[in-house]
Structure 1
Amino acid sequence: MPSLTSAAVPPGTLSWSAQPSIPADGLLLRPWRAADRPAVLAGYADPDIQQWHCRSMTDEEAADWLATWPARWREESGAGWAVVHDGVVAGQISLRRLSLHEGLAEVSYWVLPSKRGLGLAPRALSALAGWCFATVGLHRIELNHSTRNVASCRVADRSGFPLEGTKRSEARHADGWHDMHLHARVAPD
């Protein structure tokens, strides 16, 4: 069925070129590499990351996860970056959902335990949001997290993503259904 609105971001905006690396205030957001598998395994083996992201991975699953990102970039359905600090992978940040037609993305992130407390997540999130608005032309970026995830709420606040509301019993975690906070930034912010 035809849309009565034009795409907020024209199709091909991402896929016409290779996924870029994004400088981020002492960090580098760069596309994932197959050699990053140990960092992905370490991330999804961490109990805190498992608690909030509701997954663990085998070595083969980590390889498959890494292999999905280039296709998602080409399809313009998502994009993932390794967050690199002092030359090593410190975490991940991704556009886990992306609609160019709506000019909308949902972001997710995590930081490895050895790199927590350094302000990496807010810096990575601010840089990615800036790139999404200025370079891609997105209109809105959303961030969802369990209301019990106080650290993620702080990252959102520090990155200029105000709380918009609470979605009741929206996400199923290992310990049951969680209410989720919805934070967002729009291009004029």
Structure 2
Amino acid sequence: MNITLRVDATPSASALLLRPWGGGDIEPLVEAFRDPALRRGASGPLETPEDVRGWLEVQRRGWVTREWLGFAVREERPGPGEGRLVGSVVIKGAGSGRESAEVGYWTVAHARGRGVAPRALEALTGWAFQTFAAEGLGSINLLHQVDNPASCRVAEKARYGFRRVLPAWPPSFPRDGHLHVRQVDGPA
């Protein structure tokens, strides 16, 4: 897929470039997943280039099936090429004709607290509604565990309204969680 989303720079943050994952992301992903916080939330290890190649193949298949549309988030820098990897955003189930989809995201350690996640999530959300509303997409869900207040702040900044507390669902969701929702025409 050749989709690129850009997020303008602000006085305090650099511009962002969102694009599907590719082979050039192998080493940055290995480096990013040395962070224990990212490893805790990962569905599997991304410790070696071989691990990452398998993960990238899952990302590629997600674009083919339109069930899992993942974007690398990179700082945009002046001149040719891209800046460094700062995170990931993904929308699951948006291209399936369903009324709702789900988003996920993470940021690398050096980018946390700099507004990367809410800005990238806002760009992804706008793109998803613009692209899939005609197929029936009316809302997007954001789920996180209750012990993750940073994700609550990201949801609020990206205009995902808090809907309710969800009970734990082990093993994939071992603790109670929060459900935040964004409607096609604004917050929940």
Bin the TM-score by the shorter chain: 0.7 to 0.9
The secondary structure found in structure 1 opposite 2:91 is strand
Match of 2:91 in 1: 95
Give structure 1 regions of 4+ aligned residues with deviation exceeding 4 angstroms.
Answer: none
The yes-or-no answer on 1:107 pairing with 2:103 is yes
Cα RMSD for the two superposed structures: 1.9
Q: Distance in 1 between matches of 2:44 and 2:60?
A: 21
C-alpha change, 1:82 and 1:97, in structure 2 (3 Å) is same
Q: Match of 2:150, SS? A: helix
Q: Which runs of 5+ in 1 are unaligned?
A: 1-17
Map of 1:1-189 to 2, 5 A cutoff? 18-25=1-8, 26-53=15-42, 55-59=44-48, 60-85=50-75, 86=77, 87-98=83-94, 100-137=96-133, 138-172=137-171, 177-189=174-186
1:146–1:92 distance in 2 versus 1, CA, 3 Å: same
Gaps of 5+ in 2: 9-14, 78-82
| TM-score between the two structures when normalised by the length of structure 1 | 0.82
Would the alpha carbon gap of residues 159 and 171 (structure 1) be closer, same or farther in structure 2, given more than 3 Å must change? farther
Q: CA deviation at 1:180?
A: 1.1
- Counterpart of 1:158, as a letter, is K
Structure 1 47/96 Cα, relative in aligned 2: closer, same or farther at 3 Å? farther
Distance 1:95 1:153 in 2: 18
Structure with a larger share of its residues in strand: 1
Give the % identical residues: 32
